[in-house]
Amino acid sequence: MLICPLCSSPLQDAGNGVACAAGHRFDRARQGYLNLLPVQHKNSRDPGDNAAMVEARRRFLDGGHYAPLATRLAQLAAERQPARWLDIGCGEGYYTERLARALPAADGYALDISREAVKRASRRAPDLHWLVASMARVPLANGSCTLLASVFSPLDWQEAHRLLAPGGGLLRMGPTRRHLLELRARLYDDVRDYDDRKHLALIPDGMAAVHSEELEFSLPLTEAQSRADLLAMTPHGWRASAERRAAVIDQPFEVTVSIRYDWIERLP
């Protein structure tokens, strides 16, 4: 199942870690995850979300603000009854843990490029296979997954196609153009519209979208901490001016949560 990120040979258990026939070895961290992100594959010293961003997302999600999104994601995954699944870009593990509960009989994997995120995520569901790894070089074998989950995460479509077994599928969850519209209106003079279907044009040959749906609700942000955490876990936390960010944190308001789910299958 696991392959070496350096030479693509199969990885086997070797003491407190894994190794390939070529002698490349990767140790298991105290928290239980494997770091399969070699130094030469990093774009920075510590890539991905930092500890502050991960903690902000953990507080916000554990507060239940996005619970309906996680519930529907888990329902859609359970309907597919995958034998083996992978959460690509798992972050701090909130959605991953919900998937694990919905798929108790399946073999579950999760990865993120952020070591800080995976360190925290691995505490949520210790029985899963947790990996620090690149989404562009996923260290899993060709055709090894029957379900891929991508939640608010960038996606390498060719990697998705490579990882999926025929008949398996990608469960993608991402924002619609209405998502957090009120927050964006408070942060920017010009709120830019965007095409929330543009990802469908990127689907490679051999894959096809077979189901799409949307979930939308209003979310009151009554606590200053929740407003600050929402800012910190989105790109708006560093794009907007400090003055606009402070104004958002200062006053309660409601935002629209609007999410699109797509099930995209690899064709037989």
Q: Known binder of ligand: residue 24?
A: yes
CA pair distance 146, 169, nearest whole angstrom = 6
Q: Known binder of ligand: residue 109?
A: no
- The closest of 44, 7, 46 to 25, measured between CA atoms, is 7
Q: Known binder of ligand: residue 161?
A: no
What six digits make up the tokens of 28? Answer: 């298991």
Q: Known binder of ligand: residue 90?
A: no
- Helix 242-250 and helix 224-232: axis angle, to 10°? 140
CA pair distance 268, 266, nearest whole angstrom = 7
Q: Known binder of ligand: residue 7?
A: yes
Q: Known binder of ligand: residue 179?
A: yes
Name 113's Cβ contacts closer than 8 Å, sequence gap at least 6: 37, 47, 48, 89, 132, 133, 134, 135
Q: Known binder of ligand: residue 93?
A: yes
Name 103's Cβ contacts closer than 8 Å, sequence gap at least 6: 77, 78, 82, 85
Q: Known binder of ligand: residue 92?
A: yes
Sheet architecture: strand order including 34-35: 34-35, 129-132, 107-112, 84-88, 145-151, 164-175, 253-266, 207-221
Q: Are 176 and 195 in contact (CB under 8 A)?
A: no
Q: Which residues pair with 147 in a beta bridge?
A: 85, 169
Positions at the binding site for S-adenosyl-L-methionine? 66, 92-93, 179
Positions at the binding site for Zn(2+)? 4, 7, 20, 24
Positions at the binding site? 4, 7, 20, 24, 66, 92-93, 179
